[in-house]
Amino acid sequence: MATERDILDLLLARYNTERQGTIADRWVRAEHVRSSQSSYQFLSIADFIAIDKYNSSQAMHGHEVKVSRSDWLTELRDLEKSERIKRYCNFWWLVVSDASIVKDGELPDGWGLMVKAGDKLRTRVKAPALMPASLTLDFVAGLTAAAQRTAYREPLRRDARTVSMWDERNGSRRLCQGCGQPAPCNLHQPRASEAAA
């Protein structure tokens, strides 16, 4: 049975693509993003947010992760909770470990659906484009803090990707996507670095 951590790791992998010809990652990823840094009375937490940095497709994708039917039914009883963050997103997704968690007709308007399929997430229902509200500084503070925590923890679970770059002087070089140093990098690719030693 998949855990929330398993699904979050699949989301991290899904939203991890470098820009062609650069070491820049296309996505900003953040786990457990709070709706507010000050209001605990109406606090909500998005399980995962991914921001597409490409100029042609800049968008914020919010994700609610559910690994049990009971957790999903609890979410359905209070959709206002997810709305506190969904309102800032261009797309909103329900991500489930098993398709049986969501019954036909239960997916709320404005939600997409991803389902775990082996070691990947597959889109079952495409999320419709939403009209996001302007971001508040309170929300941005929480989003950036979550992105920072996520970036710090990521190498603890998996190595950064290695990208191939071409430069006129040295030809093709393999670089760490996390920092641009020659791969494998000790900081962002500790497993590959240890194996190469």
Residue 164's alpha-carbon distances to 23, 26, 66, 172, 180, in angstroms, are 9, 16, 36, 6, 10
| pLDDT, mean over the chain | 88
pLDDT at 160 over 90: no
Give the pLDDT of residue 166.
Answer: 67
pLDDT at 169 over 80: no
Give the pLDDT of residue 29.
Answer: 94
Q: What is the pLDDT of residues 44-95, one digit of tens each?
A: 999 999 999 887 779 999 999 999 999 999 999 999 999 999 999 999 999 9
Model pTM score: 0.82
Give the pLDDT of residue 71.
Answer: 95
pLDDT over 70, % of the chain: 92
Residue 40's alpha-carbon distances to 11, 37, 45, 188, in angstroms, are 27, 8, 11, 35
C-alpha–C-alpha distance, residues 33 and 48, integer Å: 7
Give the residue-averaged pLDDT of 9-27. Answer: 77
**Phi, psi dihedrals of residue 184, rounded to the nearest 5°:** -85, 140
> Residue 192 — left, alpha, or beta (φ > 0 → left; ψ -120 to 50 → alpha)?
alpha
Q: Which residues does residue 64 pair with via DSSP β-bridges, in sequence order?
A: 94
